[in-house]
Amino acid sequence: MPIAELGYRSWQGVRTGALVRALAIARSEVAIALQASKLLRRFLILAWIPILYFCPFFLAIGYVANPENDPASGVLLTGLAREFLGQAAIDRLRQDPGAILPGIWAVAFYVFFAYTQSFLSMIAVAIAGPPLIAKDLRNRAFLVYFSKPIQPWQYLLGKLGTVAAFVFSMTLLPALVLYAVGIALSPDLGGLLATFPIVFEIAAASVAIAIPIAVVVLVLSSLTADRRIATFGWLAVWIFGEIAFRALTVSGGQPGHQAPPWAALLSLRELTTRAASGIFDARGRLELLLQQFGESGGRLRRTMRDIAEGMGDPHVLDRPRDQVQLLDLAGSGYPPIVSIAVLAAIAAAGILFLLRRVVRPVQV
């Protein structure tokens, strides 16, 4: 017999709002995913490795941009900056850092998002996303949620928030850390003022990547009670789409070859990359930087060549300047706003589908 049995006790208190309840779902799902998958935990750590590459870049650019620093005394950092930008660009940067820094930073963040983080995000989503609704279907957990005062949109927001949390931990969070590093190393407060809008661009690009892929993976997850099938569906959407896009883009590899304008629609990652390009204004800023730097070499130029090759026009930088269509670097055929619009349409259609879908299992 217990010494003191409290029995049933009632509770009275102020209840939390609708958003807090959705957040509770997201927090619980993030915890479940992290506990369930060692691979996911390792991946989240792996996602920070690209920072090790970009930090020296920001360190070197910050050093040479400060007119008070003597390039001769910081040989290593100056050498690094020369490797990245070329000497002419460094000279121009030292003359007017406020005009040049935001462009360099924006392009660097675009490359960070487009070339490493969006790829890593796709893998993380492949691990964490497919079980989210599939396991609720399998375990009939809908009754647990909807027997409480939870609306379908709160449930969906919680699930979307779960995927978004993993994507943000690979895009938004490391990008903000990089930004903080850059600000800490910038010559004066003018650097902060000049580059502050980039914070919003980082946030917007993260959202542009996170929301569409979260919606797509949740739609796939809601179609089956077997998470393996949902995972296969996600990999099919991602990898087959990517293969189809690359096949159309690089076929022949001939000078002047252009992929069909609709090719990017086949690849979700390509769409998100182009959306990021539009948000960071990568095209405009690259053009501006090339005009500023003239024929300066450096990794920036080589990076642009890499981008051009990826886009199916490897000879773009070899053509006379007045014929160079740098627009092609960050998306051939149509402006990035189209990618943003397509992603928004995918997200809206997916959310409408999910709202109808998640109510149905309860109404049996």
Partner 1 sequence: MMLQLDQVAKSYGPFQALAGITADVRQGVVGLLGPNGAGKSTLVKVLLGLVRLTGGGARVLGLDVRTQSRAIRELVGFMPEDDCTIAGLQGVQSVALAGQLAGLPARTALRRAHEMLDYVLLADERYRKIDTYSTGMRQKVKLAQALIHAPRLLFLDEPTNGLDPIGREKMLGIVRSLGQQGIGVVLSTHILADVEACCDSAMILGRGRLLVHDTLEALRRSVDPSCRVRVAGGTAGLAAALAARGCQVEPIAPEEVLVAGDGDLGGLVFAAARECGVAVREISKSRNSLEHTFLEAVRAGGGEER
- With respect to partner 1, which residue has the nearer C-beta, 105 or 145? 145
Q: How far is the CB of 145 from partner 1 (least distance, A)?
A: 6
Report the amino acid identity of residue 151: Q
Closest Cα to residue 110, out of 243, 214, 238, 206? 206
- With respect to partner 1, which residue has the nearer C-beta, 13 or 252? 13
Q: How far is the CB of 314 from partner 1 (least distance, A)?
A: 48
- With respect to partner 1, which residue has the nearer C-beta, 151 or 258? 151
Q: How far is the CB of 362 from partner 1 (least distance, A)?
A: 5
- With respect to partner 1, which residue has the nearer C-beta, 128 or 220? 128
- With respect to partner 1, which residue has the nearer C-beta, 9 or 38? 9
Binding site for partner 1 (CB under 8 A): 6-13, 15-16, 20-21, 24-25, 28, 31-32, 35-36, 135-136, 138-151, 362-363
CA distance 313 to 80: 28
Q: How far is the CB of 146 from partner 1 (least distance, A)?
A: 6
- With respect to partner 1, which residue has the nearer C-beta, 136 or 328? 136
Closest Cα to residue 66, out of 93, 41, 86? 93
177-197 core/surface letters (b: 16 or more CB in 10 A; e: else): ebbebbbebbbeeebeebbee
Report the amino acid identity of residue 342: V
- With respect to partner 1, which residue has the nearer C-beta, 12 or 323? 12
Task: Give residues with Cβ within 8 angstroms of 354, minimum separation 6.
Answer: 133, 156, 215, 218, 219, 222
- With respect to partner 1, which residue has the nearer C-beta, 28 or 95? 28
Q: How far is the CB of 141 from partner 1 (least distance, A)?
A: 5
Q: How far is the CB of 317 from partner 1 (least distance, A)?
A: 51
296-324 core/surface letters (b: 16 or more CB in 10 A; e: else): bebebbebbbebbbbbbbbebbeeeeeeb
Q: How far is the CB of 167 from partner 1 (least distance, A)?
A: 20
Q: How far is CA 294 from CA 87, 92, 102, 306, 324, in A?
A: 11, 10, 18, 19, 13
Q: What is the dihedral of CA 175, 40, 126, 32, to 10 degrees?
A: -110
CA distance 86 to 96: 16
Q: How far is the CB of 2 from partner 1 (least distance, A)?
A: 9
Q: How far is the CB of 363 from partner 1 (least distance, A)?
A: 5
- With respect to partner 1, which residue has the nearer C-beta, 142 or 166? 142
Q: How far is the CB of 361 from partner 1 (least distance, A)?
A: 10
Q: How far is CA 115 from CA 21, 119, 342, in A?
A: 35, 7, 21
- With respect to partner 1, which residue has the nearer C-beta, 93 or 132? 132
Closest Cα to residue 106, out of 271, 268, 288? 288
> 53: how many CB neighbours lie within 10 A of its CB?
10
